[in-house]
Amino acid sequence: MDPPVHPVVILTLASAVSLYFYQKWTHQQRSGGLPYPPGPKPDPVIGNLRQIPKKKQWVTYQQWGKQYGEVIYFAVGGSQIVVLNSARVVNDLLEKRGAIYSDRAQSNMHMEIAQGNITLFPEMKCTEEFNLHRKVVNSALSATASRTYLPCQERETHALLGRLLETPDSYPKHLRRATGSIILTVTYGHKVMTDDDELVKLNEDAIAHIFPTVDPTNFAVNFIPWLKYLPSWAPGAGFKEYARIAREYKTKWADIPFAEVREKMAAGSAEPCYVTNLLAQNGSITNRPDEEDIIKVTAGVLYAAGSDTTVMAIKSFLLGMLLYPDVQEKVHQEIDKVVGSDRLPTWSDMDSLPYFQNCILESMRWKPNAPVGIPHALQRDDVYEGMFLPKDAVVMANVWGIFHDEKMYPDPSRFWPERWDGRFPDAISPRAFGFGYSRRICPGRHMAFNSLLIMLSNIMAVFKIEKKRDVDGREIEPIYDLEELELFMPFIECSITPRSPTAAALVRSSVASSSEA
């Protein structure tokens, strides 16, 4: 005789079936009969869980876009997800209706990480508190304020050139040190003096750990909410330990560098920076008793957000140069014509380097470092072109998919800077599109773009980027994946060598003068 079915099994099945019909009923009730946007057919109870790939989701979303349309909808567990697959709908919703499309989703994983912890403004909903933190940060990162950081960006770039000359194979480490030093100097007056600077290392580890939590389709607890009630030792509760480590990193981001500035201020040795400038205003920026805490956590946000993003963008550009030597040759020729060979490029040269600037735009399009941006959330129910979009839905712009849409960007996989010379006037520029939207637009975009201009023009002025060769002199094909997140790509082998003995001498003399500054 078959063993009797245990009552718990019957109850679990019954509640799953009731939940399914309840969700289906509320789903229809809420939309008032309007259709939700089209999307892949969900399974009962688990929704579209099975269809969401573990990796490179943006590529699947692009395929779904071709199948279902510019706005697609799917649901996983309690999360309703809307993906926008064209520049037109991103502009209509995330920009023009930014007043209601600028929240951040609070996934179960975020709630787990948030427990008893500070909240950084990129993860806040659009509250008064968020507005205040953004206001403080925006004042330090406006286009005008960002130009005051140019001397620091130039100095760090000269030091970077010296390191690339000495140990070119360690280029990722050198890039992280240079961008880390820029943001740490601007924010905390902390100059990075060694390769194993603790603050640079801390940020690198923290980003690698926290970045995956941004995507709402990662972590089972986002789809199966009851997992959060499991004790941390239980099988399936590994996300709790992950969240605990993320909590620690967030606290360290805010506390450790801030304590260092406070110590230096007490000793009279602090350099002028974001933190000292704001502290000097004695609570008059926000008129709140906790202004110091706001300065501390917003500084932590800059430190967290301002370095690796720029490194990823630089690496995309260098990969373009490596794979397209004809493009690189044109960049070299343009810099030689404008700058000559007896000095390095400076800020005042930038407007005279249109081809080089188009290469930066092209690298941001070709290999964007935030393929689905940072997901937004919808603050109230909305209707768009006859489709119902529910409050609290996570709304993602498929930046990668849009930048690889052959209708707007013919031959999208090709690194082709000429596409920005005016021949495709309707092509949306990554400068306008790759930094996010409306109230959430990246506050560091001016500073980031300035870093790209200064660092890359200097690198290109003195170095050539080529494929490595094996012992028999044959070129070694680099291993890369244009669709993969830069963060998860393997090290790209390449040879970075001075373009001439004069270029090497120029680097040495600029390093000497930058270390005296």
State the distance between the two ends of the chain, measured CA to CA, in whole angstroms: 87
Ramachandran bin of 282, using left for φ above 0, alpha for ψ from -120 to 50, beta for the remaining angles:
left
Among 361, 442, 453, 485, binds ligand HEM (CB under 6 A): 442
370 part of the interface to ligand HEM, by CB under 6 A: yes
The smaller minimum CB distance to ligand HEM, of residues 183 and 254, is found at 183
C-alpha span between 221 and 230 (Å, rounded): 10
402 part of the interface to ligand HEM, by CB under 6 A: no
- R_g (Cα) of the chain, nearest Å: 25
278 part of the interface to ligand HEM, by CB under 6 A: no
The smaller minimum CB distance to ligand HEM, of residues 52 and 394, is found at 394
C-alpha span between 180 and 507 (Å, rounded): 21
The smaller minimum CB distance to ligand HEM, of residues 68 and 433, is found at 433
Q: Identify the CA nearest to 260 among candidates 269, 249, 251.
A: 269
Instruction: Work out how close the CB of 410 gets to ligand HEM at its nearest, in angstroms, rounded to a whole number.
Output: 23
Annotated ligand binding at 273? The verdict is no
220 part of the interface to ligand HEM, by CB under 6 A: no
For residue 49, how many C-alpha atoms fall within 13 Å in the half-sphere facing its CB? Answer: 15
Interhelix angle 171-188/445-462, rounded to 10 degrees, is: 140
448 part of the interface to ligand HEM, by CB under 6 A: yes
Where b means 16+ CB within 10 Å and e means fewer, 20-38 reads beebeeeeeeebeeeebbe
DSSP H helices, 434-479, are: 445-462
For 36-111, list the strands marked E by DSSP: 71-76, 79-84
The smaller minimum CB distance to ligand HEM, of residues 161 and 313, is found at 313
300 part of the interface to ligand HEM, by CB under 6 A: no
The smaller minimum CB distance to ligand HEM, of residues 181 and 510, is found at 181
Q: Identify the CA nearest to 214 among candidates 308, 135, 134.
A: 308
Q: Identify the CA nearest to 123 among candidates 220, 57, 242, 216.
A: 216
145 part of the interface to ligand HEM, by CB under 6 A: no
Where b means 16+ CB within 10 Å and e means fewer, 305-316 reads bbbbbbbbbbbb
Among 75, 113, 294, 305, binds ligand HEM (CB under 6 A): 305
The smaller minimum CB distance to ligand HEM, of residues 123 and 291, is found at 123
x-or-dash pattern for ligand HEM, window 123-142, by CB under 6 A? -----------x------x-
Among 48, 309, 357, 510, binds ligand HEM (CB under 6 A): 309
Sheet holding 79-84, edge to edge: 71-76, 79-84, 394-397, 376-377
The smaller minimum CB distance to ligand HEM, of residues 214 and 270, is found at 214
Give the interface size with ligand HEM as a residue count (CB under 6 A).
28
Instruction: Work out how close the CB of 431 gets to ligand HEM at its nearest, in angstroms, rounded to a whole number.
Output: 10
The smaller minimum CB distance to ligand HEM, of residues 123 and 334, is found at 123
369 part of the interface to ligand HEM, by CB under 6 A: yes
- Region 180-199 residues binding ligand HEM, contact defined as CB under 6 A: 183
Among 58, 366, 420, 437, binds ligand HEM (CB under 6 A): 437
Instruction: Work out how close the CB of 62 gets to ligand HEM at its nearest, in angstroms, rounded to a whole number.
Output: 18
Triad 216, 396, 41: Cα angle to 5°: 75
440 part of the interface to ligand HEM, by CB under 6 A: yes
Among 122, 212, 238, 478, binds ligand HEM (CB under 6 A): 122
Burial of 53 (0-12, 13-18, 19+ CB in 10 A): exposed
The smaller minimum CB distance to ligand HEM, of residues 371 and 417, is found at 371
Residue numbers belonging to the annotated binding site for heme: 442
Could you list the residues that contact ligand HEM (CB under 6 A)? 121-122, 134, 141, 183, 301-302, 305-306, 309-310, 313, 369-370, 373-374, 376, 434-437, 440-444, 447-448
Residue numbers belonging to the annotated binding site: 442
